[in-house]
């Protein structure tokens, strides 16, 4: 299966049925909760997949905490016309988390649609929930991969080949790029990243 960059990273409305009430609340503009599976293998304790999952968790924690710290009225803020807004960055990352695992043979939720996902909602609560669920999807894709699959050749961008390992490295690089972008957005709007604030508070405590 050949995968183009626009297919992988363009926004996509993602969904998996959890409950009728949640579907109604999200309507057609947001990704309903991703149902956790009971067959997900245990997390590896060593090796590349373990390292990937640890880094993925780091990225998720920072994205979610930063999204929580950003005021709801800043979610539509953007530094210039034609540039992604605060919410659009978060939803773009979520779209990639749902879409890129196609390369591993892991399909997105049943109602996945490519167009318009990053602009589908700017509601703070929905955006944060979507971020969480998308990282769950990505994590489960990695957990269901075996270590022997890491060197498997797959069709990647612009008709080129890559390995599953290479794609996973791209996933982390993509998330880190947009985390840095989101941190810059927060600081421009006077929001200190929560982890930085905690470090500063710790440094200001009197030494015993």
CATH of the domain at 117: 1.20.120.450
Q: What's the pLDDT at 16?
A: 36
**Separation of alpha carbons 198 and 67, rounded Å:** 16
Burial group, residue 202, by CB count within 10 angstroms (0-12, 13-18, 19+):
exposed
**HSE, side-chain direction, 13 A CA sphere, residue 189:** 23
User: What's the number of domains the chain is made of?
Assistant: 1
pLDDT at 146: 92
pLDDT confidence bin for 114, thresholds 50/70/90:
low
Q: Which residues contact 54 (CB under 8 A, 6 or more apart)?
A: none
115/9 Cα distance (integer angstroms): 10
- Average pLDDT, stretch 16-34? 38
CA–CA distances in Å: residue 139 to residues 24, 143, 202? 27, 6, 32
Please state the separation of Cα 131 from the chain's center in Å: 5
Residues of the domain holding 149? 5-204
Q: pLDDT at residue 38 above 80? A: no
- Indicate if the pLDDT at residue 4 is higher than 70: no
Write out the H or E segment, with its range, that includes residue 70. Answer: none
Is the four-CA dihedral 33, 132, 75, 4 of positive or negative sign? Answer: negative
pLDDT at site 181: 97
Q: Find the helix or strand (DSSP H, E) in which 155 lies.
A: strand 153-155
Place of tokens 């579907």: 23
């Amino acid at each position: 299966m050949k995968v183009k960059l626009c297919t992988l990273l363009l926004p996509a409305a993602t969904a998996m049925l959890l409950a009728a009430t949640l579907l109604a609340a999200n309507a057609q503009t947001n990704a309903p909760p991703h149902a956790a599976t009971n067959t997900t293998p245990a997390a590896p304790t060593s090796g590349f997949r373990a390292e990937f999952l640890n880094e993925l968790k780091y990225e998720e924690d920072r994205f979610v905490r930063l999204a929580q710290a950003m005021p709801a009225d800043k979610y539509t803020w953007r530094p210039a016309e034609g540039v992604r807004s605060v919410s659009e960055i978060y939803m773009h990352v979520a779209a990639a988390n749902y879409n890129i695992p196609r390369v591993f043979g892991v399909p997105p939720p049943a109602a996945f649609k490519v167009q318009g996902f990053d602009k589908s909602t700017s509601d703070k609560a929905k955006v944060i929930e979507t971020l969480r669920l998308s990282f769950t999807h990505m994590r489960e894709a990695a957990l269901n991969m075996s270590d022997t699959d890491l060197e498997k050749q797959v069709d990647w961008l612009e008709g080129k080949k890559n390995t599953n390992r290479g794609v996973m490295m791209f996933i982390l690089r993509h998330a880190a790029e947009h985390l840095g972008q989101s941190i810059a957005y927060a600081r421009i709007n006077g929001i200190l990243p929560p982890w930085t604030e905690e470090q500063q508070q710790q440094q200001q405590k009197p030494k015993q």
